[in-house]
Chain A
Amino acid sequence: MKLCQKHGLPIVPRGSGTNLAAGTTPSQGGVVLIFRNMNDIVELDEENLALTVQPGVLTEEIHQYVEEQGLFYPPDPSSGKISTIGGNISENSGGLRGLKYGVTKDYILALEVVLPNGDIVRTGGKLAKDVAGYDLKSLLVGSEGTLGIVTEATLKLIPKPFYKETMLAVYESLEDAAETVSAILANRIIPATLEFMDQGTIQVVEGYKQIGLPTDCEAILLIEQDGPKEIVEQDIEKMYSICKEYGALSLSKAVTEQEAEELTRARKDALSCLAYLSPTTILEDATVPRSKIAPMVREIKKVADKYDVRIHTFGHAGDGNLHPTCATDARDKEEMARVEEAFAEIFQIAVDMGGTITGEHGVGEMKAPYLEWKVGELGIEIMKAIKQAIDPNNIMNPGKVFAKSTKKRVVVSNV
């Protein structure tokens, strides 16, 4: 860091490069910093339920390691098999368990960070409560490598849930599925997973995998609950009747682990199936308050029609985090222009509904021109002031989060 500072060279810290917002692309050249040689699990502290790791450890390796000890690290980004914990921390990654268990930020107890001036600071500790000074830790988690380099992290673990059950519900209408989601939560059940796929996604998945999904239905919900056995059984039973009450056409409950695996496969395969459709796949993560999911999915469909682009939507219904995914071709400039316009409109609609331009992928360089739509001009100003305070020479991942200029706002009607 000190050397780069002296030479004014940009630094781009990079985990496995699974970023979907050009957050780890060295678009201004410079030094790419990889953590292949810093990939040790440093310590498991069972008494304080804390795991200390280096940034290069794979997320899945952490899951396996702690689960063998009967412990649990909940954040499970879909890229967990190849993503690193350092990348997860810099992006504040989410995942399928976000609704019940929260995101990466909720499980970071302490960080060792190299600041842009080369200073090494330690924030937090194995502490459930610590209010000594500003929360640098929370500021650094999700700062996308623009404020410093994470060189060690202490993660919070929880006891591993004893038991898990899985079910799948098929709906004729999107509204029925959305109402089911609201009703489940209104009945004071917080499922571990509450995932959703729209018709387009279902058709594509069924087309490739032939697993018997009804392609004429508008929505599918994949629901999982974990915890003590009796509670899980009770919750699943309640959710089963709620799904029925709100018009589910068909319901399947997994009896064996293998059946559960089959039910979840459809959702897990969604992105790879959609990726077969076309040379280029653009996966976004506009996020809205949970109550706005049905209208948001409808709006996305309208936008896709308007710009004549193929967008299918799946995502985390429980936490409002949607993944409108566009099947396109980067070589077709005319279509790409329409895709960009479509996504701009989707971001605008999400923000108008009280949502955000990105729920878990980060701003990166790709969404930087839209950040102001969410946080406002004054919000950007204060974020830039923080950036300037920590990295006055702008050597940490320059060009990310903050754009040279903001996109002109799209005016959207009927929202």
Chain B
Amino acid sequence: MISDSFLNRLKDILGPSHVDHSEAGLLTYAYDATPNFQSKPDVVVMPGNTEEVSKIVKLCLEHEVPIVPRGSGTNLAAGTAPTQGGLVLLFNRMDQILEIDKENLTATVQPGVITQTICETVESQGLFYPPDPSSMKISTIGGNINENSGGLRGLKYGVTKDYILGLEVVLPNGDIIQTGGKLAKDVAGYDITKLLVGSEGTLGIVTEAILKLIPKPEHKQTLLAVYQSMDQAAETVSSIIAQKITPATLEFMDQPTIGAVEEYAHIGLPTEAEAVLLIEQDGPQAIVENDIEQIADICEKHGALEVTIAETEQEANQLREGRRAALSAIARLSPTTILEDATVPRSEIARMVQAINQIAEKYNVGIATFGHAGDGNLHPTCMTDARDEDEMERVEKAFEEIFAHAIECGGTITGEHGVGEMKSPYLAWKVGERGLEAMKNIKTAFDPHNIMNPGKMFAKDTKKRITI
């Protein structure tokens, strides 16, 4: 619980209208997109600038009140759930695009800007910010930075971290530091920028960021290929890469996902197919046309039942619609949806999908898988009911086995969602006890009083490792 004097000082810093401790306010921020981690914060604040953030941090440090920075709360690993109460920090008043520097190809933004707004703004000027997490319509860039969000264009263009040139950060002691700059090369000291990107709000609060932009690709084409077997789809992916083609998008859906999507969107997908690949290429027109033609050939050679190349933007949109609708389509099927993001080396995708299906059967749970085939980032998605305790237990066991399997394939427990609180018991499986220890030492160096998003990333105990 927080004291009245703490509240009053918050109001002094921010003005009373930007401090919310009403029951409705606290309930609103008691959860994120992760099922089963609801917990009310003690207070919700809306700072308007970096100095205010710094003052809030110093005050919280003095009173040892946990701070949970929060973008739009789309996190799927309970990374923004205030599970130890404390203060939720919102950025809806720090939501400006401060500058687009066309000469140095950078955008300077505040953390509260919606990702899609950035994409649209820079694209209207012929520029391009590639990271496109599926939540981009509502997620904030601050959230993307803290989670190192990926997206559909990861294979060709990389992830959020690859596009962060510099940060302004409030550290857990209230210090304000600037890292990086509008620089393609900078090796002055340790790379605090990259350490902070993806640190899930546990090391500091991002209050401004310089993004790297690139020229907008001139042309784009979209193709959909339908397969009778998962192996054929996986072979297609490997073969495309072996042909030295790097598509902008290389997405995949399995049979349960196709079924759910078709039932929801009626776009004419063959529900008996075991796999669908959605492939896009962008770049100069001649190259795109050439690549798409080659890709279509490869798909056919590897046994695609059907290959459709979109002739118009409208047709392309229809093809994309299926993959885009995947999560919503699956979410309709049950009261609770748990979306994971176990990631494996590209060469292991077919094996991994097979393993997921076997695990789902073993524990008698419904799991549909879709994801980014090109970069090995899969989204096994469980359709369940959080009220059914017996089933939830089986779901947890199934996901445990999926994580263990991903790691045995040389993969990771999370490709783009983050560890948060939900996956923290499994982190040591990936990074090892020694790796975890080094990370904890870094955490203590930054945040000795553990006020920044406590309980996230590091669990009290590591789950006992299961053997497969």
Contacts and interface: CB of A to CB of B under 8 A. Distances in A.
B188 A358 contact: yes
Interface residues of B, number: 91
Contacts of B443: 134
A47 B347 contact: yes
A231 interface: yes
Contact of B102 (A46, A186, A378): A186
B105 interface: yes
B105 A185 contact: yes
Nearest to B457: A133
The listed residue with most B CB atoms (<10 A of its CB), out of A135, A382, A390, is A382
B16 interface: no
A49 B346 CA distance: 9
Interface string A24-56: 000000000000000000000111111000000
A59 to B, nearest CB: 16
A89 B286 CA distance: 37
Contact of A291 (B103, B148, B150, B415): B103
B435 A46 contact: no
A130 B215 CA distance: 26
A410 interface: no
Interface in A42-84: 45-50, 70
B3 to A, nearest CB: 29
Interface string A290-326: 1100000000000000000000000010111100000
Interface string B231-271: 00000001001101110000000000000000000000000
B214 interface: yes
A359 interface: yes
Interface in B429-457: 430-432, 434-439, 441-446, 457
A132 B191 contact: no
Contact of B126 (A48, A138, A188, A231): A188
A389 B441 contact: yes
Given A131-B148, A135-B197, A321 B438 contact: no
B181 A379 contact: no
A234 B284 CA distance: 10
B418 interface: yes
B70 interface: no
B223 interface: no
A128 B347 CA distance: 12
A73 to B, nearest CB: 14
A129 B185 contact: no
A389 B442 contact: yes
Contact of A357 (B188, B214, B347, B417): B188
A132 B438 contact: no
B244 A159 contact: yes
Contacts of B110: none
Interface in B407-439: 410-419, 423, 427, 430-432, 434-439
Interface of A: 45-50, 70, 91-92, 94, 98-99, 102-103, 105-106, 115, 119-123, 125-136, 138-139, 141-143, 147, 158-160, 182, 185-186, 188-190, 228, 230-231, 234, 287-291, 316, 318-321, 354-363, 367, 371, 374-376, 378-383, 385-390, 401
Given A50-B345, A129-B376, A356-B187, 4 more contacts: A47-B241, A92-B191, A131-B412, A390-B441
16 contacts: A48-B347, A102-B184, A120-B434, A122-B435, A125-B412, A129-B154, A287-B184, A287-B186, A288-B183, A319-B183, A363-B188, A375-B179, A378-B175, A382-B177, A389-B442, A390-B442
10 closest Cβ pairs, A-B complex? A188-B215, A159-B244, A319-B184, A128-B375, A359-B185, A129-B415, A138-B194, A389-B445, A291-B103, A385-B445
Interface of B: 101-105, 126, 147-148, 150, 154-155, 158-159, 161-162, 171, 175-179, 181-192, 194-195, 197-199, 203, 214-216, 218, 238, 241-242, 244-246, 284, 286-287, 290, 343-347, 372, 374-377, 410-419, 423, 427, 430-432, 434-439, 441-446, 457
